Amino acid sequence: MPRWGMVIDVKRCIGCWGCSIACREEHFLPRGILWNRVLIGEEGKFPSVRKVMFPVLCNHCEEPYCVEVCPTGASFKRDDGIVMIDYDQCTGCRACVVACPYQQRTFYDGENEEYFPGQGLTLFEIMGRELYPLQKGTVVKCNFCTERVEEGIEKGLKPGVDPEATPACVVTCPVDARVFGDLDDPTSNVSELIKSRKGTPFHEEFGTNPSVYYID
């Protein structure tokens, strides 16, 4: 069984937000909700100042606090390492939102019903309700595009290598700042990058053992 993970090269990231847009389109996310974000800041002192881009998403931790605190078992970790939410079991208590040290979970209250309030639903929103409906009163987050990964594997494709079996944010990135693959395979692209470029998780001191690594 593979253990899926991601490596993000922060020096390659140009802050185009293509990953966020691809994620929104892939999952038909409603207004005000993002599963992929890019934090933008600066470092250094004038005149030697550099803009810094830092993409963030659910870290799909090996020791997820969100799973530990969930009272109904709605938050769970699959055998392949992907942390998921069963919306039918989620009561919207938001214990997981508080427990996540990376602040990568969002409560969906269903209030932002229209992208353009008062003008009716767009075709994008109508399609989303049919193809990828979210349940009001539940917590939502990145799922590593499990649909793409699973459907790709069924077709004999390799996640992280074949675009159809790889998360949308990785495929869309115009500068190849994101790489997806099997962390337990020492020959995979992600494992080789982590080893050769000394990849490290975000806030490793939290002790959650994230499956998302950063290199610079």
42 CB-near residues (< 8 Å, 6+ apart): 49, 50, 51, 52
Q: Is residue 174 packed enough to be buried (19+ CB in 10 Å), middle (13-18) or exposed (0-12)? A: exposed
Determine which helix (DSSP H) or strand (DSSP E) holds 131, and give its type and residue range.
helix 123-131
* Domain ranges, ordered by start, for the chain: 4-215
pTM: 0.93
Give the tens place of pLDDT for each residue, 117-141: 889 999 999 999 999 999 999 999 9
Our CA angle for 134, 140, 146, nearest 5°, is: 85
Give the tens place of pLDDT for each residue, 168-197: 999 999 999 999 999 999 999 999 999 999
Chain center to CA of 173: 14
Please identify, in words, the CATH class of the domain defined by 4-215.
alpha beta
Cis peptide bond N-terminal to 47, omega within 30: yes
DSSP 105-123: -EEE-S----SSTTS---H
Around Cβ 113, how many Cβ atoms within 10 Å? 11
pLDDT of residue 112: 67
Can you tell me which residue has the tokens 């966020």?
Answer: 20
pLDDT values of the chain reduced to their tens digit, one per residue, 216 residues: 999 999 999 999 999 999 999 999 999 999 889 999 999 988 888 888 888 899 999 999 999 999 999 999 999 999 999 999 999 999 999 999 999 999 999 999 987 678 898 899 999 999 999 999 999 999 999 999 999 999 999 999 999 999 999 999 999 999 999 999 999 999 999 999 999 999 999 999 999 999 999 998
Q: How many residues does the chain have?
A: 216
